[in-house]
């Protein structure tokens, strides 16, 4: 006779599920989404690492202070992520970036004392100073040499990313230009400034960026105590300020017109500090 406890043993029923879906469920979708997100973040980081310093500063500034820094560093131009508006607050930053670009020139060691950058009341003034033997221009002529072309092209490629206006000045020393009675220091200074303008406009500077082209002859000497000093012969590029706020007006140069033209003594620029020497005819006849 069977034991009574055996009759109360529970009955276990095992059911088998068909198909393969039960082995995976939806966990793989979560893992795949995490993978795609990680890859996107990686690509963004790689892109930023390979972008310009200006863009890195703009992106970093935005995430640190979306309502503050982003107003000072960023682009107000469409179509280029590398642009940023230069005000009195961040003009020194442009100076640092341009100095890095200049250091990459093939003959930088030879030219480093002939290039000066100074933040002034007008904006960032970039001086290309001639020496007694010539540095950026052919002696006594308005044509650029190889070093002058290399430098101006490099500067144009960087300045062309900005919304700021640019004015270009030409200067000579006080030595009379006696080769041609109809051609003197006024013409030479204006022609050199226009030569620089033409090259820069074909190398990155927009036509609308050039606000003025002025020839000063010897009326704005860098070394007034030594009018014949070679450093008086120079080309000056002025990157003008853009107002930080709508109610703040940008620093502007005297109105001389937008058409490239030689200027008279009355259009002298604001005083600035310069450095090494520039090149222009030190002898009566061009070499």
Q: What is d(CA 51, CA 256) in angstroms, rounded to the nearest whole number?
A: 38
- pLDDT at residue number 17: 60
- Our measurement of the distance from residue 133's CA atom to the centroid of its chain's CA atoms, rounded to an integer in Å, reads 29
| Least confident stretch, 63-77, 79-93, 202-216 | 63-77
User: Could you tell me the residue ranges of all domains in the chain?
Assistant: 27-75, 85-267
211 or 54: whose pLDDT is higher? Answer: 211
Looking at residues 205-228, what average pLDDT do you find? 94
Closest among 41, 39, 89 to 61, alpha carbons compared: 89
pTM over 0.75: no
Angle at 6 between CA 2 and CA 7, to 5 degrees: 90
Phi, psi dihedral angles at 2 (to 5 degrees): -70, 150
Q: Do 253 and 211 form a contact (C-beta atoms < 8 A)? A: yes
Torsion angle in degrees (nearest 10) through CA of 190, 192, 197, 200: -170
Looking at residues 178-188, what average pLDDT do you find? 84
| Least confident stretch, 18-32, 59-73, 202-216 | 59-73
Closest among 153, 139, 157 to 196, alpha carbons compared: 153
What is the CATH code of the structural domain delimited by 85-267?
A: 3.30.1330.60
High-pLDDT (> 90) share of the chain, %: 37
Q: Do 149 and 196 form a contact (C-beta atoms < 8 A)? A: no
Would the pLDDT of 78 be above 80? no
Paired tokens of 209: 């960026």
Q: Which residues contact 129 (CB under 8 A, 6 or more apart)?
A: 114, 115, 116, 135, 222, 230, 231, 233, 234, 274, 275, 276, 277, 278
Would the pLDDT of 186 be above 90? yes
Environment class of 34 (CB within 10 Å of its CB; exposed 0-12, middle 13-18, buried 19+) = exposed
For the sheet with 210-215, list strands across it: 115-119, 123-129, 234-240, 166-171, 210-215
Strands 234-240 and 210-215: unpaired
Give tens-digit pLDDT for 102-158.
Answer: 998 888 888 889 999 999 988 999 999 998 888 899 888 899 999 999 999 999 999
Closest among 123, 189, 135, 129 to 159, alpha carbons compared: 123
Determine the 3-state secondary structure of 59 from DSSP: helix
Give tens-digit pLDDT for 81-107.
Answer: 345 566 788 888 889 989 999 998 888
């Amino acid at each position: 006779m069977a034991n009574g406890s055996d009759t109360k043993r529970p009955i276990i029923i095992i059911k088998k599920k068909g198909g393969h879906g039960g082995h995976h469920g939806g966990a793989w979708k979560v893992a795949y989404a995490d993978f795609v997100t990680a890859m996107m973040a990686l690509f963004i980081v790689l892109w930023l690492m390979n972008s310009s310093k200006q863009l890195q500063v703009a992106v970093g500034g935005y995430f640190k202070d979306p309502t503050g820094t982003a107003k000072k560093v960023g682009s107000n131009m469409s179509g280029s992520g590398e642009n940023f508006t230069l005000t009195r607050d961040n003009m020194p930053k442009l100076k640092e970036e341009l100095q890095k670009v200049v250091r990459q020139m093939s003959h930088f060691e030879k030219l480093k004392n002939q290039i000066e950058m100074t933040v002034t009341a007008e904006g960032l003034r970039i001086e290309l100073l001639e020496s007694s033997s010539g540095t950026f221009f052919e002696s006594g002529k308005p044509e650029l040499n190889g070093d002058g072309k290399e430098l101006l092209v490099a500067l144009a490629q960087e300045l062309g990313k900005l919304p700021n206006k640019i004015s270009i000045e030409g200067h000579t020393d006080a030595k009379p230009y006696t080769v041609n009675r109809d051609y003197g220091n006024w013409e030479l200074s204006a022609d050199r400034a226009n030569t620089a303008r033409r090259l820069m406009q074909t190398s990155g500077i927009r036509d609308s960026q050039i606000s003025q082209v002025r020839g000063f002859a010897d009326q704005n000497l860098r070394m007034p105590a030594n009018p014949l000093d070679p450093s008086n012969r120079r080309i000056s590029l002025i990157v003008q300020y853009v107002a930080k706020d709508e109610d703040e007006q940008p620093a502007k140069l005297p109105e001389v017109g937008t058409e490239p033209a030689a200027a008279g003594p009355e259009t002298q620029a604001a005083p600035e500090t310069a450095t090494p020497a520039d090149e222009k005819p030190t002898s009566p006849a061009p070499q």
